[in-house]
Amino acid sequence: MIWLIPAIGIVLLFATALVFCIAPGKMTPEAKKTAKYFYGLNCAHRGLHTKDKNIPENSIAAFEAAVKGGYGVELDVQLSKDGKVVVFHDDDLKRMCGIDAKVSNKNWEELSVLKLHGTNECIPLLTDVLTLLGDTPVIVELKLARPNNRKLCEETLKILREHGQIWCIESFDPDICKWFRKNAPDVMRGQLSRRPENMEGLTFAPAFLLGHVLTNFISRPHFLAYEKSRYPLTAKMCRAMTPMNFIWTVKPEHDFTKCENENDTIIFEFYTPEPKYK
């Protein structure tokens, strides 16, 4: 039975390493204050856009509709070629604007005249959206911007601080969350994730690590924002330890009651729930 001693040691070592990798961060007093505004809040995914695309995602019209409905808002930001923080999801313009070009290769002057899904809505600046939102709580997702992660973080934080409203940040990129962890620890930050097989644009190893939240030792998030799906075991463990759990994207076909019971904040689209559920 002597062989059990090293075996138990190996198991304990593995368990310790696993917990170290997936553990969230401890909320600062400032982050705790922010968290109260998001607790039990339904947040409109990319604004309250419509399935028929008459109100496009991440448009001024979508954000106006969300404010009118009393919802929180989730939106996406990235940099234009000349360093403006624009509100847009995809890294290219093909799906939304019908143009085969990268957002990062266009100056703001070029982006500002493009129409979203053939409507009169255009790509907005983050500054314009925040002015419209006022006191509406907003989740700001910073898109992958390598090698310009630092500039995106700096410019976004500068704008958010100047507007001084209720906001938190999230990202799929652990390095972006790490930047906020080191440079703005008071800011409530979240790690976005989804099942590895659903990760887009990542090779097997990064998708596996991120999908199983094994990169949390980098980001040490205050909340985990996981896709509505079957959670891997490590994601379940992380959810049990994380101060807050967000879920995305809840749709009409999903079990609303279950989502509300199991999550602190819901990011939704294509239906109109009550603004608060807790």
What is the count of structural domains for the chain? 1
Which CATH number does the domain housing residue 101 bear? 3.20.20.190
Task: Assess if residue 277 is contained within a domain.
Answer: no
Which tens digit of pLDDT belongs to each residue from 18-37? 999 999 999 999 999 999 99
Q: Is a pLDDT exceeding 80 seen at residue 11? A: no
Task: Assess if residue 122 is contained within a domain.
Answer: yes
Q: Is a pLDDT exceeding 90 seen at residue 146? A: no
Least confident of 13-27, 116-130, 170-184: 13-27
Q: Is-contact 137 170, C-beta < 8 A?
A: no
In terms of Cβ atoms closer than 10 Å to its own Cβ (0-12, 13-18, 19+), residue 133 is buried
Task: Assess if residue 8 is contained within a domain.
Answer: no
Residue 121 CA to its chain's centroid (Å): 23
Task: Assess if residue 138 is contained within a domain.
Answer: yes
Domain, as residue range, for 103:
25-268
Q: Is-contact 253 259, C-beta < 8 A?
A: no
pLDDT band at 145 (very low <50, low <70, confident <90, very high): confident
Task: Assess if residue 18 is contained within a domain.
Answer: no
**Which residues are marked as active site?**
45, 89
- How far is 132 from 165, CA to CA, in rounded Å? 11
